[in-house]
Amino acid sequence: MKKLTALLVLAACLCSFSLAAVAASGEVVVYNWSDYIPQDVLNDFTKETGIKVVYSTYESNEAMYAKIKLLKGKSYDVVCPSTYFIAQMIEDELLMPLNRAKLTNMGNIDPKLMNLPFDPQNRYSVPYMWGSAGLIVNSAKVDKNSITSWHDLFRPEFKGKIMLSDDPRDTIGMALLATGSTPNAKDEASLKKAFNFLEKLRPSVRVFDVTAGKRAIVNEEVIIGLIWNGDAQLAIDENEDLAFIYPKEGVPLWADNFAITAGAANVENAHIFINYMLRPKVALRCLEEYGYSTPNLKALKLMDKDLRSNRILNPTAADLKNAVMLDSLGEAQKLYNQYWDKLISGK
Ligand code: N2P
């Protein structure tokens, strides 16, 4: 009898071993924003699971979307679109419904960022990070306390020393807020006002690029500009004269979400990867490194005092008083594209 039990135990072990081996083989192909997951985290994931991460990055939703659409949802397993791109990607059948039973860590995520209209019940997406687009300023060149508004960009001392982002929703969104509207405005009159604001600012803009902007502000080629909060944190780590400011008219907010592409080849591994990223300690390592805000409530609890009081990644209610989360634009997207093209081409 004892022998039989031992055999059964051995069989059970072998069986679970081979199941684990199946799940732990192969790779997961992840396409994500740059500066978003530390390499160490990816290495640790592979060490623990045996799953190789084939990782590449993008700088904008627009670039990611164009590529995934061209590939008809194949070639990549995991992507990380902002909320306002998810609905479009679902509609285009580029995403696969998630298997919630495999995402056991989903309960760590703030319910306030779940179940939103772009993806009711989170059938396709799970929040990874959120953040804002605010102002960064070099306080060695200007009194940072005197900068309170997007309109301060027009001050004469900033001529030729401004950076803007080439992310259309953030830049147009900021201009909409500055001109008394919302970054989700769908009417042409509001967009026109925002466009005029940006047109007027344009001659003073030296860098119009989210990636180059980071370097330009650190190297002091520019002294003020629009920046994501995480990039601001990285820039401040390199140049302590820099400061991040929440202008009083409000900041555009975004949230980026993991999703699995409709044509994913490694569906099981994609779930294992996303579930790993939802662990509190893993989420903490990501925000410590990159300065964005986490929707992971358990990770928030693990933060030390310094991080907790860091308003770049933990803004106060006052900082976000007029902040607005970017939303899908539906038909109005065309209008935004038109104004954006006009701004970029200068025609
Ligand atoms: C990280 C990118 C932040 C994403 N570098 C903004 N949606």
pLDDT confidence bin for 212, thresholds 50/70/90: confident
More confident position, 221 or 6:
221
Residues 6+ apart with CB under 8 A from 35: 230, 231, 234, 290
57 lines ligand 1 (CB under 6 A): no
Q: How far is CA 39 from CA 36, 173, 272, 278, 286, in A?
A: 9, 32, 17, 16, 10
What's the CA gap between 102 and 16, in Å, rounded? 17
**12 pLDDT higher than 70:** no
Which amino acid would we find at residue 331?
E
77 lines ligand 1 (CB under 6 A): no
170 lines ligand 1 (CB under 6 A): no
**219 pLDDT higher than 90:** yes
Q: What angle do CA 231, 195, 200 make, to 5 degrees?
A: 85
What integer best gives the mean pLDDT of the chain?
92
310 C-alpha vs ligand 1 centroid, how far in Å?
Answer: 18
55 lines ligand 1 (CB under 6 A): no
**15 pLDDT higher than 60:** no
**21 pLDDT higher than 70:** no
Q: Which residues of 255-280 are buried (b: 16+ CB within 10 A; e: fewer)?
A: bbbbbbbbbbebbbbbbbbbbbbbbb
82 lines ligand 1 (CB under 6 A): yes
254 lines ligand 1 (CB under 6 A): yes
Per 3-state DSSP, the chain is made up of helix, strand and coil in percentages (nearest 5) of 50, 20, 35
What are the DSSP calls for 119-183, one per residue? SGGGSSEEEEEEEEEEEEEETTTS-GGG--SGGGGGSGGGTT-EEE-S-HHHHHHHHHHHTTS-T
Pocket test for ligand 1, best of 80, 129, 286 (most atoms within 8 A of CB): 129
Token code pair at residue 282? 């893993």
156 C-alpha vs ligand 1 centroid, how far in Å?
Answer: 30
Which ligand 1 atom is nearest residue 256's CA? 7
Is residue 40 within 8 A of residue 284, CB to CB? The reply is no
235 C-alpha vs ligand 1 centroid, how far in Å?
Answer: 14
What is the per-residue pLDDT across 229-262, written as a single tens digit (0 to 9) for each?
Answer: 999 999 999 999 999 999 999 999 999 999 999 9
230 lines ligand 1 (CB under 6 A): yes
Model pLDDT, residue 16: 39
CB hemisphere CA count around 123 (13 angstroms):
13
322 C-alpha vs ligand 1 centroid, how far in Å?
Answer: 21
Residues 6+ apart with CB under 8 A from 242: 136, 137, 138, 139, 217, 218, 232, 235, 236
What's the CA gap between 122 and 235, in Å, rounded? 33
Strands (E), 274-338: 324-325
45 lines ligand 1 (CB under 6 A): no
With tokens 């397993």, the residue in question is 77
Which ligand 1 atom is nearest residue 254's CA? 7
What's the CA gap between 3 and 258, in Å, rounded? 48
35 C-alpha vs ligand 1 centroid, how far in Å?
Answer: 8
Pocket test for ligand 1, best of 256, 286, 325 (most atoms within 8 A of CB): 256
44 C-alpha vs ligand 1 centroid, how far in Å?
Answer: 22
Model pLDDT, residue 214: 87
Model pLDDT, residue 41: 98
Model pLDDT, residue 66: 97
121 lines ligand 1 (CB under 6 A): no
57 C-alpha vs ligand 1 centroid, how far in Å?
Answer: 11
Model pLDDT, residue 89: 96
Percent of the chain with pLDDT over 90: 89
**7 pLDDT higher than 90:** no
Model pLDDT, residue 24: 52
What is the per-residue pLDDT across 72-85, written as a single tens digit (0 to 9) for each?
Answer: 989 999 999 999 99
What's the CA gap between 278 and 105, in Å, rounded? 6
- Please, what is the end-to-end C-alpha distance for the chain in angstroms? 86
228 C-alpha vs ligand 1 centroid, how far in Å?
Answer: 7
What's the CA gap between 207 and 177, in Å, rounded? 21
Is residue 327 within 8 A of residue 84, CB to CB? The reply is yes
167 lines ligand 1 (CB under 6 A): no
With tokens 């109005």, the residue in question is 332
Which amino acid would we find at residue 151?
H
**20 pLDDT higher than 50:** no
What is the per-residue pLDDT across 255-302, written as a single tens digit (0 to 9) for each?
Answer: 999 999 999 999 999 999 999 999 999 999 999 999 999 999 999 999
CB hemisphere CA count around 67 (13 angstroms):
18
Is residue 226 within 8 A of residue 164, CB to CB? The reply is yes
189 C-alpha vs ligand 1 centroid, how far in Å?
Answer: 29
- Report the pLDDT averaged over residues 169-181: 98
More confident position, 105 or 19:
105
